[in-house]
Structure 1
Amino acid sequence: MRRRAAALAVPFSAVLLAVTSCGAIPEEWRTPAFMRSDEPEFDERLPTVTGDVGEEPDVEFPSIAPPGEQISGVAHRGAGEGALVRTDDMIVADIVDYQWTGEGEAEKTNSTYDTGTPVLLELAQMNEELTGSLADQPVGSRVVFNFPAQDPAEAASMGQPEPEPGDSVSIVDIRSRFGRGDVVPGEQTTDGGGDGLPTAPDPGHDRPEITIPEDTDPPGGLESTRLIEGDGPEVEAEQQLVVQYTGVTWNDGEVFDSTWDRGGAPATFPIGVGQVIEGWDEGLVGQKVGSRVMLTIPEDLAYGEAAAESGSPEGTLVFVVDILGAVDSPPAPEPEASGEPEASAEPEG
């Protein structure tokens, strides 16, 4: 499905990025309510965080020096939707960062509430000290992290600028989660087909079985069929999508790629920016979140005539895609000032 190998621009906050280097779930995978532990005692060295999850929190720092060690605590345990966050989930979260410089003194350095762009965190890419604090929390929880300042000598050895004095504090609000086995809700109203197109009955929480019509030439252009009509917002270019998908080649109907063959863990990627094949960019932008879409993609919008040279599937491709979520990308960081005076637009004199 990808056009080329490229690192995804997962929008971690600066703090979490430095330290580290969610839909429905099958009923039988849910954790019973009686197995949930009580809210743990909140470490008194952490700042007091109040306010409703989903809104910018009110933060009060204690009149002590920054602890100088990594600690965390649950400021609020959400009601969730019956399923708890797992260590290999993706979560959509709002993050507010502070630099804690002294007794009761701190400065806010970042907030997704200010930009209106929550981040998508892949917990499997994070270390256990972070995931351990987020795992087993319901959606709607608020977790507070304190990170010690990086050692200046270590930063210098890595070619990084001298770290700011004091500890860093990150407040993480869990808005939603995506996990293994997730599919879009809703009833599939068609299996596809018609006019010589493939069919794919509703597979439940399993890999779709896509059937290519016999003795039929593939369509000459991109064909998009909604198997389930979602009721979420329309997908926009430059968003980060979370999907389940299966792809087969028209020539033989064989599966060449599927999230279900990787344990049903959803995939994430940016859409509409040339990071995936053109048929995905054209066929998924404008679809509604919560939709299941069958895409029949001609060769020129897939991997092209030279597909075999790169080991990619050849010819017309057919995908069934569940659009689980779409997350806005954060604004690009403003370029740092060079410190040199700007050239004058008009010559002096």
Structure 2
Amino acid sequence: MHRRAAALAVPMTAIALVVSSCASIPEEWRTPAFLRMNDDALDSRLPEVTGEVGEEPEITFPDIEPPDEEISGVVSKGSGEDVLVGADDLVVANVVQYQWTAPGEGEKVEGQSSYENGAPDLVRMEQMPDYITETLVSQPLNSRAVYVFPPLTSEEREQAEAMGQPAPEGASVLVIDMVDRFSKGAVVPGEQTTNGGGDLPTVTQDGHSQPEIEIPEDTEAPEDLEVVPLIEGDGAEVEEGQQIIAQYTGVRWEADENGNHPVFDSSWSRGGDPLDATLVSGEQGGLIEGWVEGMAGQKVGSRLMLVVPGDMAYGETTEEAQGSPAGTLVFVVDILGAYDNPPPPEPAEEEGGEEASDEEGAAEDGADEESAEE
């Protein structure tokens, strides 16, 4: 559950970097779709990519100048034709970016390999441009696609430099391995072993529909966080700081003036589009404390009922909540997936190779403050 006033930091993916620098690829530069969909007709100018999907690829650049048009193709098709990537899926992908600098020459872009940092990219297909998705949609999982984006023109380089953005040499190359996908309306497998009940809410859910949450009448809300596994998953344990993918629904414990407990927020109200967020609360994240504490240590594939007191949500009173629902909240959350985030960047080093001391940093801060006062 997002804190409404907090922005959630999402890692900048290699896809976003390339798309942002090639967002206006002319139509005449686009390779016809049949060259993408038919493996036998792959463009011979595509780099050769070898290695197993699930491991960092090895790439060989053709002994030609980088092409001046966008080309792409599926160079390794996954098995399992019954699990195909859809146009509105949330796709988990490993992405590696390269620069093709000259005939037969190229290099991996530093820091732009999810295989190196151990953190896959979460790609919402609906948010990607057509020239990305048309190669990926309807392909089976564990397929590998390669994209080549032409070198920047002189005008594009000037625009990038004027905006303070890097202007790489040569053509940009992406290798995308699709390792998992979550469709709209996805739920965890299995049957509920309990519906809750007693002094706690009762939860019922019919298939892929939004769950129904019934609050017990004439019962005080619990003072502490309650975590009830309705379905116990068998995946890896969720860790604080990971990227989570979840379906959720939330209601207030306290009834409204009509005696009802209407849903105040739900991924189902957005067509069942799963939430992806970093499991961190407070100033560093956009999730309430009750979600972080309640989900950490639970297993992927679990359905949880979380009864969250106001002091672990938005506050006990309307004034504290500031427009968000006040008091105890009840959520039903399906934990669909959990993936590591990239490690934080290393501290900057001084010219001599040593990190700046705390005293030097404090002195610089003081100088900045004095300048601001002047």
Q: Displacement, 1:306?
A: 4.7
Following the alignment from structure 1 to structure 2, what is the Cα–Cα distance between the partners of residues 321 and 114? Answer: 31
Structure 1 residue 119 corresponds to structure 2 residue 121? yes
Distance 1:183 1:40, change over 3 A: farther
Structure 2 match to 1:178? 182
Following the alignment from structure 1 to structure 2, what is the Cα–Cα distance between the partners of residues 268 and 344? Answer: 36
Q: Is the 8 Å Cα contact of residues 18 and 172 (structure 2) preserved in structure 1? A: no
Q: Is the 8 Å Cα contact of residues 242 and 266 (structure 1) preserved in structure 2? A: yes
Structure 2 match to 1:34? none
TM-score (norm 2): 0.82
Q: Is the 8 Å Cα contact of residues 47 and 61 (structure 2) preserved in structure 1? A: yes
**Which secondary structure does the structure 2 equivalent of 1:73 belong to?**
strand
Structure 2 match to 1:207? 210
Structure 1 residue 159 corresponds to structure 2 residue 170? no
1:11-160 alignment to 2 at 5 Å?
11-20=11-20, 39=39, 41-80=41-80, 82-109=82-109, 110-150=112-152, 151-160=156-165
Moved more, 92-101 or 219-228: 92-101
Structure 2 match to 1:27? none
Structure 2 match to 1:281? 292
Distance 1:155 1:85, change over 3 A: same
Following the alignment from structure 1 to structure 2, what is the Cα–Cα distance between the partners of residues 170 and 212? Answer: 50
Task: Identify the match of residue 301 of structure 1 among 299, 312, 320.
Answer: 312
Task: Identify the match of residue 232 of structure 1 among 211, 230, 235.
Answer: 235
- Deviations 1:164-187, CA, capped at 9 Å, x for gaps: 210111100000001101000112
Task: Identify the match of residue 278 of structure 2 among 248, 270, 274.
Answer: 270
Coordinate RMSD, CA, aligned: 2.1
Moved more, 247-256 or 8-17: 8-17
Following the alignment from structure 1 to structure 2, what is the Cα–Cα distance between the partners of residues 7 and 344? Answer: 30
- Deviations 1:278-317, CA, capped at 9 Å, x for gaps: 1101101111000000000111111003545622112110
Distance 1:40 1:241, change over 3 A: farther
Structure 2 match to 1:292? 303
Structure 2 match to 1:30? none
Q: Is the 8 Å Cα contact of residues 228 and 305 (structure 2) preserved in structure 1? A: yes
Which residue identity is paired with 2:48? Answer: T
Following the alignment from structure 1 to structure 2, what is the Cα–Cα distance between the partners of residues 260 and 57? Answer: 37
Structure 1 residue 247 corresponds to structure 2 residue 250? yes
Q: Displacement, 1:335?
A: 4.6
Which residue identity is paired with 2:337? Answer: G
Distance 1:216 1:19, change over 3 A: same
Following the alignment from structure 1 to structure 2, what is the Cα–Cα distance between the partners of residues 278 and 177? Answer: 28
**Which secondary structure does the structure 2 equivalent of 1:234 belong to?**
coil
Following the alignment from structure 1 to structure 2, what is the Cα–Cα distance between the partners of residues 8 and 244? Answer: 17
Distance 1:208 1:339, change over 3 A: same
Distance 1:7 1:87, change over 3 A: farther
Which residue identity is paired with 1:152? Answer: R
Structure 1 residue 321 corresponds to structure 2 residue 323? no
Distance 1:189 1:165, change over 3 A: same
**Which secondary structure does the structure 1 equivalent of 2:337 belong to?**
strand
- Deviations 1:225-267, CA, capped at 9 Å, x for gaps: 0000000001001101100000011112211111111111111
Which residue identity is paired with 1:315? Answer: G
Following the alignment from structure 2 to structure 1, what is the Cα–Cα distance between the partners of residues 356 and 325? Answer: 54
**Which secondary structure does the structure 2 equivalent of 1:200 belong to?**
strand
1:253-264 alignment to 2 at 5 Å?
253-264=261-272
Moved more, 321-330 or 52-61: 52-61
Structure 2 match to 1:193? 197
Following the alignment from structure 1 to structure 2, what is the Cα–Cα distance between the partners of residues 197 and 331? Answer: 39
Q: Displacement, 1:20?
A: 4.5
- Deviations 1:62-87, CA, capped at 9 Å, x for gaps: 11001133221111111247232122
Q: Is the 8 Å Cα contact of residues 118 and 341 (structure 2) preserved in structure 1? A: no
- Deviations 1:128-184, CA, capped at 9 Å, x for gaps: 2212222111111101011223321111232324x1210111100000001101000
Unaligned runs of 5+ in 1: 22-36
**Which secondary structure does the structure 1 equivalent of 2:59 belong to?**
strand
Q: Is the 8 Å Cα contact of residues 316 and 328 (structure 2) preserved in structure 1? A: no
Q: Is the 8 Å Cα contact of residues 99 and 107 (structure 1) preserved in structure 2? A: yes
**What is the total number of aligned residue pairs between the two structures?**
328
Unaligned runs of 5+ in 2: 22-36, 256-260, 358-374
Q: Percent identity?
A: 55
**Which secondary structure does the structure 1 equivalent of 2:146 belong to?**
strand
- Deviations 1:36-84, CA, capped at 9 Å, x for gaps: x754621111101122111122211111001133221111111247232
Q: Displacement, 1:192?
A: 0.8
